[in-house]
Chains A and B, each alone.
Chain A
Amino acid sequence: MDKPDFSQNPPKWANRFLEFYCADELLDEIQGDLLEAFFHRQTEFGRFRASLWFVWDVIRFFRPSSFSKRNWKLNANVMFKNHLLISYRSFLRQKVYASINLTGLVVGLSSCLLIILYIFNETGYDRFHPEVDQKYRVVMDMYSQGTLTNKSATVFAGVGPSLLTDYPEVESYVTISPFASGVFTTTGLSTPRVMLNQDRVIYASRNFFDYFGFELLYGNKEELLNQPFSAVIAESVAMQYFGRTDVVGEILKRQGQEEFSVMGVMKDMPSNSHMNYDIVLSLSSFDDLSEALADWSWSDFYSYVRLTEGTEAEVFNKKLESYLDRKKAAVFEQYGVRQNLWIQPVRDIHLYSDLTWEMQANGSASDVYFLGVVAALILIIAWMNFVNLSTARAVRRAREVGVRKVLGSSKRQLRYQFLTEAFLYNLVAFVLSLGLVLLFVPIIHQSAGIKLNSGLLLEPYLLMSLAVLLVAGTFISGLYPAFVLSHFGVLRAIKGGAVSMRSRLREVLVTFQFVLAITLIFGVLIVLKQLTFMKERPLGMNLEQSLVINGARVGESFDDLVNRSGVVINELAALPEVTSVAAANMIPGRENFNLTSYTSRFTTNPKSSYNLMVSASYFQNLEIELKAGRHFDPAIKTDGKTVVLNESASSLLGFSSPEEAIGEVINRGKRSERRVIGVVRDFHHRSLKEAINPIVFYFDDVGDESAYYLLKVRANDMDVTMAGIEVLWEDVFPDNPLDYFFLDEFFDQQYKSDEQFNSVFIGFAGLAVFVACLGLFGLVSYTSEQNKKQIGIRKILGASVVRVVMLLAKSYGKLILISLVIALPVGYYLMKEWLSGFAYRTNIGFDTFALGVLIISLIAFATVIVKSLQAAMGNPINALREE
């Protein structure tokens, strides 16, 4: 085995790799030839090229024919059994380290598996639609004076039909209008009358169920939505109304007027779909359909197309770019605006689409990637632990290695042994993690509201990737220890203790682990800070004790509805528990679809602003501060022709101050002029994730548009208050259901997905830190045990406990300090990026840094000191008595 000392050698690692995989009986010819070739080549071509060549040859020889065969078949079986036995024994002998090792792996793997499930879940949206790769949603960018003002998910009703005639690539289209909600009641003829508010209702064109893969339970697919006033309802809705699902032919009344006949019953739309509706009505029942189809400014419709196979979205988008220029040239010219259609794959809507007026809040691809990275990090930390602890334990195993070598074991056999051990650990960890994941999936569903499909774990592609992960884990965690352990010289190994304890690699690994852990802790702190910041920042209005009642929608006639609404509002205000009642067509926390362009004396270019219809008491009710002018006054007849602006709208329309805006006229189109009578302070109508939008308030005291009644109630017994409201409501609106909720809770629901994401992130970051500390704990315990005698001698010679602890803690403390120095800038940069996604963001202050440093120092030093204290406190006799 002894090699002559050539000053120039081929790359050592390549040579070792060759020795590792090559069969013993082939090593002579293969390694010999390669070394000889290297020797000759380096004189001819130079060392560098010869080395490259050598490495390439080593890789070329890496094939089954070079691997040892006999070993696998005969001896290997016997040895394998022995390896298993020894692994088991060493596990028993060093329970603490073994369990630390295993716990780390299990925690790492289970978090990784859970996150993988989550990622599969998130990326698996809308896969169930037939030929989904050919299906796209048509959406629209809106420009004003050359700047992008809005990216809209909704387009014009005419888009679908006219694209179908104008482009041969378009095979079919579906148009959906989301404004179909209302009170749906049964006729009460065959069954007791059921009356419910239904919000998730759409109109859809007839081929909706061909286009989308929603499963139909009853009904004839060909004639579902062909006729006006046909409806397809979800299974759960059918159960609510009729108590059974086979309800084709039944009638549902909307607003007490229109009768829809149920033509089909569908399965509830699955959660992995970008839309979630309960009732689908035929588009032909939409009153103003013909008007909408002709109106190229009414953009309240979702439009989906199916393109011919092989059509490139990019190419088609190029064609669409100028499509509306042809349709609406005059309008574009006049107002200096532009609208630009483009298509997005239906498959990508959930993760990648974040437009205005989405059907529902979508997921975020960056969140998914983010969690994926966290999963990888946790796993890497766990594997590093294994490497660290196994090499640290090496000293204990050194004697075993020495004896094995004396008895004729080759290095390779030793490597197999340690790889087997690593494989066993990984395998056991895998099995345990799978069990844990199955256990945790329902718990996570309950606590965080995240639905994971553990059945995915049995999918072949996932099983394959798990197998790959297992093998990769074995090699990543086992290869280095196997090399280190098999490398001990026989004499030194048997003598024991002489093996050097300092290992640069181990230090680097610990540092790296802690860099990751600190970055994660830092991330958690910022994420928490941002969420608290968003929830606690003054909104510019007061939502506390605000009760919202869904406005009545059903009346004998429109006048009757308006009259009775007025009555209810007055009577509600008269209740002793209610301090104020207001009405509005939109409430804070809900997405406003009502957007129009305005001009003023100062801006001839139309500016887009949202509209809100409110009653006179709206501003006082929500305690929105008046900046200038006055509120609406029901006593003043002309107030129907006036508007109130918020500060954003006021400055958007060119007024230099709120005072200046008072008395000015703003135009909504040519004919409709409105005088500004007041300006209110900006308030957050949507979550803090979004910037404050300009809003123009219209006066609507009659209650024409009162979709919501806002009640301020006294903070006493809510049951009494609610009972009073119920009695009153039943009296005035027996034909309308009473739905109510608290406005502050409703507003906070906007943060639900953030909170969900945060809790997941915090959970996994915590696990990562836990695993890192586990590793640290194991290492420190090992070092202290290793240095037991040294500590004993030091103590006998008079060292104090503190000094001994310092001695032990110093080296690891240094590593943690280094990790802090590396991790903080990294964390700062990453979190800055993350925060930039919010319109209103907290600052990454010094306090966060300090807190992060404090937390990690506490955890890490506690880990180190607890263990080293134990070592330092021990009676030196116990340490020195052996031998």
Chain B
Amino acid sequence: MDMPAQKKKLGLRERYAYMTRHLGWETTYQPMDKVFPYAEYEGIKIHDWDKWEDPFRLTMDAYWKYQAEKERKLYAIIDAYNQNNGHLNVTDAKYINSIKLFLNGISPLEYMAHRGFAHIGRQFPGEAARVACLMQSLDEIRHAQTQIHSLSNFNKHYNGFHDFTKMIQRVWYMSVPRSFFDDAVSAGPFEFIVSIGFSFEYVLTNLLFVPFVSGAAYNGDMGTMTFGFSAQSDEARHMTLGLEAIKFMLEQDPANVPIVQRWIDKWTWRGYRLLTLVGMMMDYMLPKRVMSWKEAWEIYFEENGGALFKDLARYGIRPPKYLEQIEFDKDHISHQAWATFYQYSALSNFHTWMPTDDEMDWLSSKYPNSFDKYYRPRFEFWRKEAEQGNRFFNKTIPMLCQTCQIPMVFTEPGDPTKTCYRESDYKGSKYHFCSDGCKDIFDHEPEKYIQAWLPAHQIYQGNCFGEGADPTSKDFNPMASVLDYWGVQNGHDNGDFEGSDDQKNFNAWRGMATNNS
């Protein structure tokens, strides 16, 4: 009787070791420090790269296998969603506006993350770290591409999706996510992995990809649910890599601790500012809400981030700065952000609206300390004005923060009635900030942030007018010309949701889908 031959299989640990160790060698034509010129200048000391270990112990062969499976599932669902005109099953066309923000603002960041990880994968001298960065680099371009596919599907039916590559570089609020990544990719490889791998992935993407994407599912958007969860399945690995990178640096040399601490402070703050947009998406742009921004923040930042910082305390790492302010502000920032986009709606590539009574009541119940006291009166005033034909469109250029580039909409720590102003003088010029956090970041590396491309100032410098514009001509309309430069179609992409093409089309198409007339 034949006995089946028992093949000796390597265990996960051994397989990982064989596939990620001793693949490199000492170079001979050029010294190692010339081959890896970025490895040391940030001051991070690494003594033994072999101590780097991916806790998933993922190797390239397994990576391809599982990623292929993810892609098959993803596109099966996206195809089904489109074949069934799934976009007409979302709760309301208002919802689509949150996806405009997501797909226009995040997809280009995915691409930039791809480039960033490819770059540091090249620059790290350790093989295991390089393998992990290579995988993340591939993940990120997968996310960019799946999101572009999703965007192109929405673009067939709705406004504001037609020119994301131009918009990310030009539209005023897009400078917020863009400058975040510009800052990260122009740092050294170790700061980059803390900024994206740790702060962005571990501390922050959970808030975008978990509760918001669950909210997309709740609002009937299967397409976004599937690309969101598919991306986040990679993020789980990225978070693990980010945490591993931090622990690795901290364990390699005690001199690394203060450097890493400063990066944690900086990038937690930068990420927190960026997430303001997600807060507003959750509280105002999902017709059916899964949880409030504040609740999501408590679960994913306070509870989860808190556990993480407690765990890192043994290395001498303390929680990031300004936590007290961050905790106070969770009652405010989503409302402040929506108030901003509502009033600058003439200058955006998506629509805004005032909450209904039901929605205001929901906001009151979720924000008992702040909504009725500070924001409801403002919103009810605007709603009444709009009903009387005087919808508020703020058309004056706002003052921006030099660091985060968000208009100066944030309030003093502890006082939601006072705009927070901070400033620094550097080489004879003044620079303004929305917070102590943003001022600290500038003061540490002013030479970097004086280069900020602030849309407000660029418009005044005359750098943001449409092609062929003649600002000296009598009938020159600067605002129309700026919209043209941004790629925003005036009267279609911008303005209130009420009366928009999107609203009319959605209602008409949904009507066609449910009756025969």
Answer whether A and B are interacting partners: no
